């Protein structure tokens, strides 16, 4: 679910934010590399998550994970899916490049993922959204049902 982006010479996975200024991240990563000598020695800077053993660097209020191996990207995707603290909405917004943190009611295929077969909206425990984003999702599903883009339950 997270996206790999190559900024300059470094492989970086970006999380949580839909608004990303690549120039600022690139500049800050370059500063860290010039400070510590190489990208492998950035471990002193930022937080280190012992549970998953991944390096988290705080760069301009954006959580960035510095990755050295290509194999660790696959494991990172499974970690994001398992971790309940990460709101799936923020990752979803960045992947689909939807601006202003909104799931649009124009895309019914994306909405069907968050509905049961009985056409009811899934609760936030199953969707993995924060309550604020769950409300946005529910509003947009209801809106798309009234527009006729999604089927509504027949009573």
> What range does the domain containing 73 cover?
3-83
Question: Residue 93: which pLDDT band, with cuts at 50, 70 and 90?
Answer: low
Can you give the CATH number for the domain in which 105 is found?
4.10.640.10
The per-residue pLDDT for range 45-86, each reduced to its tens digit, is 344 333 433 444 433 333 444 433 344 444 555 555 555 566
Single out the residue in 59, 83, 107 at which a domain terminates.
Answer: 83
Q: What is the pLDDT of residue 149?
A: 80
Task: Return the H-helix or E-strand segment holding 122.
Answer: none
Q: What is the pLDDT of residue 117?
A: 86
Residues 58 and 48: beta-carbon distance below 8 Å: no
Q: Are residues 20 and 56 in the same domain?
A: yes
Q: What is the pLDDT of residue 114?
A: 84
Neighbouring C-beta atoms of residue 3, cutoff 10 Å = 13
Report the percentage of the chain scoring pLDDT > 70: 30
Which stretch of 10-14, 100-104, 137-141, 147-151 has the lowest confidence by average pLDDT? 10-14
């Amino acid at each position: 679910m997270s996206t790999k982006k190559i900024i300059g010479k470094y492989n970086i996975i970006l999380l949580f934010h839909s608004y990303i200024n690549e120039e600022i991240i690139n500049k800050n990563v370059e500063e860290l590399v010039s400070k510590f000598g190489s990208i492998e020695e950035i471990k002193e800077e930022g937080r280190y998550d012992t549970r998953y053993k991944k390096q988290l660097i705080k760069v301009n209020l954006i959580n960035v994970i510095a990755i050295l191996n290509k194999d660790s990207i696959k494991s990172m995707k499974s970690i994001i899916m398992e971790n309940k603290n990460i709101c799936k909405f923020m990752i979803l917004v960045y992947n689909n490049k939807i601006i202003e943190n909104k799931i649009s009611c124009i895309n019914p295929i994306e909405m069907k993922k968050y509905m049961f077969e009985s056409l009811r909206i899934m609760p936030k425990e199953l969707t993995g959204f924060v309550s604020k984003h769950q409300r946005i999702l529910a509003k947009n599903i209801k809106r798309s049902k009234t527009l006729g883009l999604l089927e509504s339950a027949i009573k």
